[in-house]
Amino acid sequence: MEWLIPVVLLAGLLALALRSRLAASYRAWRAQQEREQVEDALKHLLNREHQGRHASPESLSGALGLSRAQTVRLIERMEAQGLLQSRAEQLHLTPAGERWALNVLRAHRLWERYLADEARMPLAQIHAEAHRREHTLSEAEVEALEANLGYPQQDPHGDPIPDRAGEMPSRASCPLTDWPTDEPGRIVHIEDEPAVAYQQIAAAGLKLGQTVRVLERTPQRLTISDGENEYRLAPAIAANVSVSPLLPTERVFDGDALPLSKLPLHREGEVVQIDPALQGLTRRRLLDLGLTVGATVRPEMQTFVGEPRAYRVRGTLIALRKEQADHILVRPIAHY
């Protein structure tokens, strides 16, 4: 029976190793859960401060779905970490808390840019997926993601992406409901919450970077146009669309200009603009292909289904999908 002793000993060691591994896995899971909770709290505080007000224990409890006791413990933990301060039932971010919150916001908006541009995920789905992924990156990994995307300045909804120093580019805008009638403006932001409002805007066909005019305003609806199509939105929905005056680089071109996707085969065109709403790696790729302002481009061939089409630019043949060519505005060149 002496052989049983090493067998029992081995079984005991295996059980101990398994318990140790399970304990380590649980600790890692618990640490990740605590990180997500802290980062979600930081984002809530940052969002409230950007709105010109401060979070409270009640608003934090509602935003994170926590009980009063859980919220109190979370606040105490974050105060001990030097991330926030409580003053008269108001929660204030410390400089350290603000830096961390901006890094989480940066990660979220970079993930949205990646999911929209590279993963080709529908815009209505990217917010939830980016929220899941934003807690998984270190600061160095966030910087690598930003570099790989070509240092974009906006997420797909038009929200500015903080840079490494926490600075965010800004552009004056106002809701479509407050925009003057018959004045051209560029859509610079589409609010993605509440989701039902965003879905209605997307279903209507409005998109970031579009130049629009308000044609008619009534208490029941706004009628707007992009020069080709008319859109009708309830004021409560239209308020989620923000517009800005056109910049000199976003001037409205005459009727001769058209998207590259609509340039007839074997007809030459001059590039006059790449959609300013197109940011990040996709824009950089188009520029690297030679599609800069003033370049001559000619559609050479297309598949039997219509795309992708092959274009000749700067002596090289390149292939573009319709959704890419739609972002390139060209003016047909007349040959006499």
Least confident of 22-36, 110-124, 273-287: 22-36
What CA–CA distance (Å, rounded) separates 53 from 59? 11
Q: Helices 68-80 and 4-50 meet at what angle, rounded to 10?
A: 90
Round to whole Å and give the CA distance between 96 and 108: 19
pLDDT > 70 in the chain, percent: 90
Task: Report residue 245's pLDDT band, with 50, 70 and 90 as the boundaries.
Answer: confident
On the question of a cis peptide bond just before residue 308, with omega within 30 degrees of 0, the verdict is yes
Domain ranges of the chain: 4-93, 174-249, 258-332
Residue 181 has pLDDT above 80, yes or no: yes
Verdict on whether the full-model pTM lies above 0.75: no
Q: What is the mean pLDDT of residues 22-38?
A: 76
- CA dihedral 297→301→305→306, nearest 10 degrees, is 20
DSSP summary character for residue 214: E
In this predicted structure, the answer to whether residue 21 has a pLDDT above a threshold of 90 is no
Q: pLDDT (tens digit, 9 = 90+) per residue, 256-276?
A: 788 899 899 999 999 988 887
Domain 258-332 sits in which CATH superfamily? Ferrous iron transport protein A (FeoA) (2.30.30.90)
- Fold observed for domain 174-249: SH3 type barrels. (2.30.30)
* DSSP sequence for 148-160: HTT--SB-TTSPB
Q: Which has the closest alpha carbon to 297: 277, 276, 282, 318?
A: 318
CATH 1.10.10.10 fits 4-93, yes or no: yes
Predicted confidence at residue 159, as pLDDT, reads 85
Do 174-249 and 4-93 fall under one CATH topology? no
User: Tokens 């929660």 correspond to what residue?
Assistant: 91
The predicted pLDDT at position 248 comes to 62
Contact in structure between 309 and 301 (CB atoms under 8 Å)? yes
Tell me whether the omega of the peptide bond preceding residue 194 falls within 30 degrees of 0, making it cis: yes
pLDDT digits (tens, 9 = 90+) for 66-125: 999 999 999 999 999 999 999 888 999 999 999 999 999 999 999 998 998 888 888 888
